[in-house]
Chain A
Amino acid sequence: MKTRLAFPRITAWILLCVVGSSLISADPALAKEKIAYRLKWLINASTAGDVFALDHGFFSEQGMDVAVKAGGPERDAVRELELGYAQFGVASADQVIRALAKGASVVVLAQLFQVNPLQWIYRADDFSLTRIQDLAGRTVGITYGGNDATIMRALLATVGMDEHQVRLASVRYDYTPFFQNQVTIWPVYRNTQGIFLSDKLAAGGERVAFFDPSEHGVRFVANSVVTSTQMMDHHPQRVGRFTRALLAGWQAAMAPANESAVIRAVAKYDRDTSEAVMRRQLTATRQMIQPDPDIPIGHIDATAWQQTEQIMIRQGLISGPVNVIGRLRRHHAP
């Protein structure tokens, strides 16, 4: 008899616990806000701060349950914001400006890279590139349609060089033409691919150098954190908390003392890069995220944004001004 009564009692208790816990979690005061954050590219050293913020509870502290989603060539954070698949994302400046030119409502919350990691690698023993004019007659790799093509054209234009004075070669992810010396100046993300390529060439006894457009006056803005105008207008608190958590995550991730913890966080997603390489990638990333200790992480370089817009207008990539300055939100220190 006792056993027969015990079963319904236990079932009732279990049901009560399940219903109770679901009611608690459904309470908006206690539940964490679910946020989707779409990155620009796959997770690697360039996204160290994003994954560190996630792994070390920076978002949780702000009451947010953030899903950091890897990007890729077919992913477009600005589109995802508009379609509601993501609430925050990372986009390059040219993406933002193109989107604005086509009527998208997007706001820039922070500029992650102060120095654009997109640079050109070459063999230092073969020649040296100290001036833009040194590119003349050389085979320069560009991704047609990509922002490296835009940057290279802008560089040539600054010194009045014609595109035909260099040999532009179409490149993609396969480095064979560079290894075989068919394309001698190759576009890379200096803090990630740049390290890996340097190692490969060093193994063959070759030294490399990098050609950095920002040193020649072209400051084309790279990855920045964006959200929709609607989110900004309707949920300014949420935007503030997200930005604070993210930039605090980046701040901590860029501290040399946290390097091992950052490597562990990134390595969870990037299993193909060795710890030694990642360490050097982080060192290079640090110099691009905060090249000047007086400038806070996430600082929006309005002049560089303006220059990026001007370059795109001059190259006919957008039909007219989009007033990108009006879409830059002043940075809140973490």
Chain B
Amino acid sequence: MLHRRVFQFFIVYLLGIGLLFGIKLALNLSDYVIPGPTGVWHTGQAEFSRYMGDVLDTFAVAVIGQVLSILMALGVGVAGRRATWFGSFIKVAAYNVQAYPIVAIAPILFILLGDGFLTRLFIAAMICYFPLLLSVIGIMSEPVVDIEHFYRVTGRLRWQLEVKIRAFENLHKLTTVISGSATLAMAGTIVAEFIAANAGIGYSIRIALYQSDLSKILVALFIIGITLSLYQGILELLGAGLKKAWAAG
């Protein structure tokens, strides 16, 4: 599963970069507009270790942000799964808050939390949280009629059991959503670093943009992509292992 993810990423990245080089060649563009393969290679050699450190820094924040989001989404999703006034309120709030662009909220966070770790974490969690919440609400509010019916008529269906049944029956969906949210958490952290931080790969990308250095950005994208592919692969493996263990237990 892991090597397939990495292999697929290589295909996507090479196709993308190949397209850029193709455009450069076809339009006879200078290295200022699109860098050449040697330029990207040299930049990669010069910046790889520094950017790798930056990506790992970003990644650490993204993982913490994602874990927080998962916990919050599960908590609120379970609370909001019923067709009650509170359940519908949670859904409406989730939809509305998701509509606010993070660039508008970031300056407020910046004033409240400064430009350090907390701002990055908060923005990562915000970007990652709402899609997760909507998926969790969707899964948790869908009854598994065949199984729940038995427990319901025998009067043994408590809310914990209801949540367990629904989670188990939708484990594949949940794993996919959580794995997908890793991308959102990473993207959220990078956005946060771009607009309100002094560390991480988003901050380095901002500096590269100031210097009009596309080679650096291509190198950064490569490291971000490979890190995310590995992480998503690991999450999928964990999901598969969890399902197997749960089914056996």
Contact = CB atoms under 8 A, between A and B. Distances in A.
Given A73-B209, A146-B210, A170-B115, 20 more contacts: A83-B29, A98-B32, A98-B211, A99-B30, A101-B32, A102-B30, A102-B31, A102-B35, A103-B31, A103-B32, A105-B30, A143-B210, A144-B210, A145-B209, A145-B210, A170-B198, A172-B115, A172-B196, A174-B107, A174-B111
Interface of A: 73-74, 76, 78-79, 82-83, 95, 98-99, 101-105, 143-146, 170, 172, 174, 176, 317
B212 A82 contact: no
B110 A76 contact: no
Q: List 6 tightest A-B contacts by C-beta distance, closest first.
A: A145-B207, A145-B210, A102-B32, A102-B31, A103-B30, A104-B32
A26 to B, nearest CB: 28
Contacts of B208: 145
Nearest to A83: B33
Contacts of B210: 143-146
Nearest to B208: A145
Interface in B99-148: 107, 110-111, 115
A317 B211 contact: yes
Interface of B: 27, 29-33, 35, 39, 107, 110-111, 115, 195-196, 198, 203, 206-212
A99 B209 contact: no
Nearest to A169: B198
Q: Is the interface of A mostly helix, strand, loop or mixed?
A: loop
Contacts of A170: 115, 198
Nearest to A79: B33
A176 B212 contact: no
Contacts of A98: 32, 211-212
A176 B39 CA distance: 39
A232 to B, nearest CB: 16
B211 A145 contact: yes
27 contacts: A73-B209, A74-B209, A78-B212, A79-B212, A82-B29, A82-B30, A83-B27, A98-B212, A99-B30, A99-B212, A101-B32, A102-B30, A102-B32, A103-B32, A104-B30, A144-B203, A144-B207, A144-B210, A145-B208, A145-B209, A145-B211, A170-B115, A172-B115, A174-B110, A174-B111, A174-B196, A317-B211
Contact of B212 (A83, A95, A103, A144): A95
Contacts of A104: 30-33
Given A82-B30, A104-B30, A176 B111 contact: yes
A103 B32 CA distance: 7
Contacts of B115: 170, 172
A282 B27 CA distance: 41
A102 B36 CA distance: 10
A79 B35 CA distance: 12
Contacts of A101: 32
A317 B203 CA distance: 18
B207 A176 contact: no
A74 B210 CA distance: 9
A102 B34 CA distance: 10
Nearest to A101: B32
B46 to A, nearest CB: 11
B50 to A, nearest CB: 13
B197 to A, nearest CB: 9
B32 A99 contact: yes
A145 B30 contact: no
With most chain A CB atoms within 10 A of its CB, the pick from B32, B115, B207 is B32
Nearest to B106: A174
Contacts of A103: 30-32
B143 to A, nearest CB: 48
A82 B111 contact: no
A79 B32 contact: yes
A170 B198 CA distance: 7
Contacts of A73: 209
A82 B209 contact: no
Nearest to A144: B207
A328 B35 CA distance: 25
B199 to A, nearest CB: 9
A58 B203 CA distance: 42
Nearest to B215: A102
A145 B206 contact: yes
B249 to A, nearest CB: 51
Contacts of B198: 170
B128 to A, nearest CB: 23
B244 to A, nearest CB: 47
A78 B31 CA distance: 12
Nearest to B28: A82
Most buried by A among B30, B110, B209: B30
Contact of A172 (B30, B35, B195): B195
Contacts of B207: 144-145
Contacts of A102: 30-32, 35, 39
A82 B196 contact: no
A150 B209 CA distance: 15
